Amino acid sequence: MYDDTLDLSQPITWESEEERQAAIAFFNAAFRAEESGLRQAHEIAGDVEKWDPELAETLRLYGDEEGWHRELLTEFLGWLGGEVRPMGPTTTTFYKLYARAKRPETIVLVNLMFETIGSTTYRLALRTAKPHPTIRHMLTILTRDESFHVPLNVHFLRRVLEHEGVDSPLRLRAVYHALSVALAASAAASRRRAKKFDNIPFPTLARAYTEQLGRLFVHADDLGFEPSKPLLWAFGLRRSDLNDQGDLISADAAERAADRSQVIVEAL
C-alpha cells in the first residue's frame, strides 16, 4: 500500500475560491474520520489482544491503514492549498459522543456505520466531484479501502458480540437507530460546507446513507438489527429495496477485497 503514491505535480484550476474551500472542507471531514478510525481500532486491539491475538493484529493493521489514509490526506490537503482545520460544531459533537462510548460492541458498531457513510460518500463523489486525475486517485483509494473496511468491521462486530455477549441488545439497537437518523441529518451540515466541491444534493446523500446503513443488516439477521422504518419511509425506500445487493458484508466479501489490486472500484 505504501507504493501507492499520489501524483501531486498536476496543477488544478478551480471554478471559484468557494469550490476550493469546499474541497478543503470535504477532505478535512475525511481526515477526521481516518483519525477517529485509527484511534478506535488501536484502542480496541488492546482489549481484544487478551482473547484473540490474531484478531487484535488485524485491528492494528486496519488502524494502520487508516493512519496511511491520514498521511495521504495531509499531503493532499497541502496540494489543495489547504490544511487540517479545527472541526466544526457538528463534527465535534459527533466525535465527543463517540469518544464516550466504552463498550467494545458499541465502538465497533459506530465505526462500522462511519465506514459505511464514508464509503457511500466517496462512491457518490467519484461520479460527481471535479474530474481531475489527482482528485480521482485520492477518492479511488479511499473508496476501495473503505469498502473493504465495511465487511471487515461486520466481522469485528460479530466476533466481539460472540465473545462479550450482548450486554443490552436494546441499547445497541437504540444506538443503531439514533445514529442512522443523526447521520442522515448530518448530510445537511456537510452540504453547507462541501457541496460546491462534491456536487451531491442533500436528498441524494441522505437517501444513500439510509439505504446503505439499512442494507448493512439486511444480510446479517444474526446481528438483530432492522433498518429504521421511519427513515426508510422518509426517503421513499422500502425494505425490499435493500435486498438487491449481493454479499458485500460477509467474511468472504472481506477476503475477496483484501487484495486491493484486484478490487474494481465502482461509483454509486
Residues that bind Fe ion (CB under 5 A): 34, 37, 66, 69, 115, 146, 149
- Between 20 and 149, name the residue whose CB sits nearer to Fe ion: 149
For CA atoms 22, 26, 28, 32, the dihedral sign is positive
Minimum Å gap between C-beta 16 and Fe ion is: 29
Minimum Å gap between C-beta 60 and Fe ion is: 14
- Between 66 and 211, name the residue whose CB sits nearer to Fe ion: 66
**Rounded Cα gap, residues 119 and 12, in angstroms:** 25
Minimum Å gap between C-beta 151 and Fe ion is: 11
Minimum Å gap between C-beta 40 and Fe ion is: 10
- Between 33 and 231, name the residue whose CB sits nearer to Fe ion: 33
Burial of 71 (0-12, 13-18, 19+ CB in 10 A): exposed
- Residue written as grid cell 478551480: 14
With beta carbons less than 8 A apart as the criterion, state whether 224 and 210 touch.
no
**How far is C-alpha 22 from the geometric centre of its chain's CA atoms?**
19
Minimum Å gap between C-beta 236 and Fe ion is: 29
- Between 37 and 227, name the residue whose CB sits nearer to Fe ion: 37
User: Of 141, 111, 88, nearest to 39 (Cα)?
Assistant: 111
With beta carbons less than 8 A apart as the criterion, state whether 116 and 218 touch.
no
Q: What angle do CA 63, 67, 72 make, to 5 degrees?
A: 145
- Between 138 and 242, name the residue whose CB sits nearer to Fe ion: 138
